[in-house]
Amino acid sequence: AQSVAQPEDQVNVAEGNPLTVKCTYSVSGNPYLFWYVQYPNRGLQFLLKYITGDNLVKGSYGFEAEFNKSQTSFHLKKPSALVSDSALYFCAVRDKKTGGYQKVTFGTGTKLQVIP
Amino acid sequence: ETGVTQSPTHLIKTRGQQVTLRCSSQSGHNTVSWYQQALGQGPQFIFQYYREEENGRGNFPPRFSGLQFPNYSSELNVNALELDDSALYLCASSERPGQAVEKLFFGSGTQLSVL
């Protein structure tokens, strides 16, 4: 079974400060990891993914995420937060062993509030 | 903006009724997945269709069923609606399933309320 935990329901950060949104995962094999963002009344938008290779993954809108296999974590980061980054962020995982079809398991989401 | 469109945007039904939700995939995508997002929760995988066949299913009962058409558009059907079926239903398309790691392109969803 695969699962994702986002331990923080909400993260508040001042505009211009660095931000981190935490995520830990559990899979039986090796993971594919994703971050998606959801704005109010919208579907989810892809930010970035980790497949293999470099542990630091760069994505859209200046976001990046660091894969840490020993800690089974995939935290989302940005050096300088913008008010427009305020949204709901979802971490997701897919077990490489799934094959055949793309069952992606999402976390419960973290609301990011960037304060002007 | 993705090229995935869903209809209707909002729907109100009563318990025991049946509902059909529709999704048009992004151009060039032959795989469609459906997700249920309850209030305050992350999306939960319902099933995936590839080339008109269901090729993966999550932990949802058989009263949740689907179709994919030759143009890769899709329907989600839910029979015998229950109050707990109230949720945002999201459709996501991708280029292909299987071993490839494809990002999902989501529609804006259909908000279903069951009274």
Q: For the segment A49-66, what is each residue's pLDDT rounded down to a tens digit?
A: 998 888 999 999 999 999
Q: Where are the alpha helices (DSSP H) in chain A?
A: none
Nearest partner of A7 among A115, A114, A107, A113, judged by Cα:
A107
- Residue B25 to chain A, least CA–CA distance (Å): 14
- How confident is the prediction for chain A on average, in pLDDT? 91
Q: How confident is the model at residue B20 (pLDDT cuts 50, 70, 90)?
A: very high
For chain B, the C-alpha Rg in angstroms (whole number) is 13
Q: Give residue B30's Cα distance to chain centre.
A: 14
* Contact yes or no for A32 and B33 at CB 8 A: no
Pairwise pLDDT comparison (A99 vs A73), residue with the higher score: A73
Q: Is A78 on the interface with B (CB under 8 A)?
A: no
Q: Cβ contacts of residue B71 below 8 Å, gap of 6+?
A: none
- Within 8 A of B45 by CB-CB distance, chain A residues are 103-105
Q: Is the pLDDT of residue A67 over 80?
A: yes
Round to whole Å and give the CA distance between B109 and B115: 19
Q: Is the pLDDT of residue A29 over 90?
A: no
User: Do the strands B10-13 and B110-114 form a parallel or antiparallel pair, or are they unpaired?
Assistant: parallel
Round to whole Å and give the CA distance between B114 and A45: 27
Cβ-Cβ contacts under 8 Å between A and B: the total is: 73
Q: Cβ contacts of residue B107 below 8 Å, gap of 6+?
A: A43, B2, B4, B5, B6, B23, B90, B91, B92
Q: Is the pLDDT of residue B26 over 90?
A: no
**DSSP-assigned letter for residue B102:** P
Nearest partner of B14 among B80, B87, B60, judged by Cα:
B80
